[in-house]
Chains A and B, each alone.
Chain A
Amino acid sequence: MSVQTKQKSHRIHEGTASRTFDIVNVILLVLVALICLLPFVHVMAMSFSSNSAVISQKVFFLPVDFSLEGYRMVLEDASMMRSLGNTVLITVAFTIIGMTLTILAAYPLTKRELKGRSVIAFMFMFTMYFGGGLIPEYLLMNDLKLLNTLWSLILPLTFSAYNIIIMRSFIESSIPASLEEAAFLDGASYWDILFRVVLPLSKPVIATLCLFFAVGRWNAYGDALYYVSSNSRVYPLQLKLYYLMGMASDAANLAEGGTGSYVTAEVIKATCVMFATIPIIILYPFLQRYFVTGIMIGAVKG
């Protein structure tokens, strides 16, 4: 609305300078957009080209000698499919547990009658700024016997103070207290109110936070490198890709993973990159919308 009025006001005094400004502005933005997009387009073009075309460096932004060979090989690779399965599994479990914890923590924290509310809130928020760090967390996984299991990638990060803050400020700002009070008068318990009043009205923020959890888990590989690098059966997709690309750059890694000596065809590499990105691309329209919503709620109280 305000944007529209701004645009109208620009039009009143349309001078040459202003028009030049517009043209330069659009050209620069197109350049920026291309810089963002082209690396991606190039890898996609490689993934759909034949290996020989890629090796002879003929591929730029369009597939040369179109071929689905790379995709066939990736889909037939058992270890690749197992990594995909691992990632799907941990992403789903992580999102469900994370969301459960977030809801159960955020709702009571919106209640003034909760004694010790500020202490609990502080205790949660403190974890955003301070933590034990890599080694103590690694030793915890070791003590819990979770090293080299999928659980080490599911459990530790499900408690997210940042997401709890977002959920809490959404409930506080968007759910009218009168609705909850009316339910109270009807004899509803806190559980009833949470499930019948608060959650149905929180669908947008739940969708947003589910995507935060899911994308975060899908994309992360650091914890997998720390916790499961000696068991290739539980590699998630990103870690698999990490070894496949030959990124394990220090000697210890090569020894541990035993996979550092990969010499992988360029087409396969490009295809794997695409393979791990396709789900993100498919979900992208939702991701964009809901992530922006989340940023906005988070910015109010961050």
Chain B
Amino acid sequence: MSVAASRKGKKAFHAGAYFKRYWPLYAMLVLPMAFCLLFKYWPMTGLAMAFKDYKVVRGIWGSKWNGFSNFQYLFSRAESIGVILQTLKLNLLDLLFGFPMPIILAIMINECRSKAFKRITQTVIYLPHFLSWVIIASMFIMLLRTETGIVNIVSASLGGQKVPYLEDNHLWQIVYIFVGVWQSMGWGTIIYLAAITGISSELYEAATVDGAGRFAKIWHITLPGIRGTVVTLLIMNLGRVLGSSFERVNSLSNPYVVMKGANVIATYIYRVGLSQGKYHYATAMGLFQNVIGILLILIADRFAKSMGESGLI
């Protein structure tokens, strides 16, 4: 009925009659549209600041345009370049260690025979996903502190040395990656487990008849069966390689590393922008990150589609 009505509407479109009938749909959209415009699109106009010499007293629109000189400033300074490189470094390390873990775990869970054991394992490894970064960081800081952390207490009692996990810049970055993997590996298995469920059980039966072992079945059936999911997620993650999670870095950070390993784009924007009040530099950095981010995602999407996967957008 409604479809038929709309077809009729297309043939002879009268705006008045159309809105008389369909106004409720537009009425419903008013509120979401208002929120979307105010809280998402209005701030985008503030991006003009990236091209201005911002003065608080003059406001965004009263300040003078200065072309690309904010960007020139950013790209001529060792600190801001270092911040971009550090963001890339942490994200690539994250990808290197964090990406394979859910795949390996999903295969291991799938190979379990006891359903109860499977379910308990899943329940436990999903838990970290639901904890806030403040909670996670609090727990790991308590665990890893040099003098009072349980990890150092245990290793010292076994005759080892106390290790400054959080104060040493290099070790801190390892901790940062570890905690990220810890938080996301369990939750990441869901999508792969779903993909594995979609593999036909006949394939496994045929392989068993041919005398294939467990590893052979994983290698020749399970892995090819989830290839599409793996490729899509890998490309999607590569598209986010310049993104950064403020809460994760900021909550794990401490005065020893804040200007070193923990100095990434998100924390730089916060520090330079909100703490030091250099709004135009912070906005320019944010815009740079945003534009590169959207370009990478578009490229990733193209790439995924060209490989015959469903893409992301």
Contact = CB atoms under 8 A, between A and B. Distances in A.
B186 interface: yes
A37 B28 contact: no
A269 B135 CA distance: 10
Contact of A131 (B40, B121, B204, B213): B40
Interface residues of B, number: 107
Interface string B35-51: 11011111111110100
- Counting chain B CB atoms within 10 Å of each CB, the highest count among A22, A33, A287 belongs to A33
Interface string B280-297: 001100110110011001
B162 to A, nearest CB: 12
B29 A100 contact: no
Contact of B121 (A33, A226, A269, A287): A33
Interface in A196-219: 215, 218-219
Interface in B108-139: 108-113, 117, 120-121, 123-135, 137-139
B269 A134 contact: yes
Contact of B127 (A40, A157, A269): A40
Given A22-B111, A247-B253, A266-B148, 9 more contacts: A10-B208, A36-B127, A133-B283, A137-B43, A181-B1, A219-B132, A226-B274, A247-B251, A292-B190
B127 A133 contact: no
Interface string A53-80: 0000100100000000000000000000
B197 A40 contact: no
15 contacts: A3-B110, A29-B121, A33-B124, A107-B28, A108-B29, A115-B22, A129-B293, A135-B283, A137-B43, A140-B42, A220-B247, A245-B141, A295-B190, A296-B194, A299-B191
Nearest to A298: B191
A136 interface: yes
A32 interface: yes
A172 B49 CA distance: 41
B241 interface: no
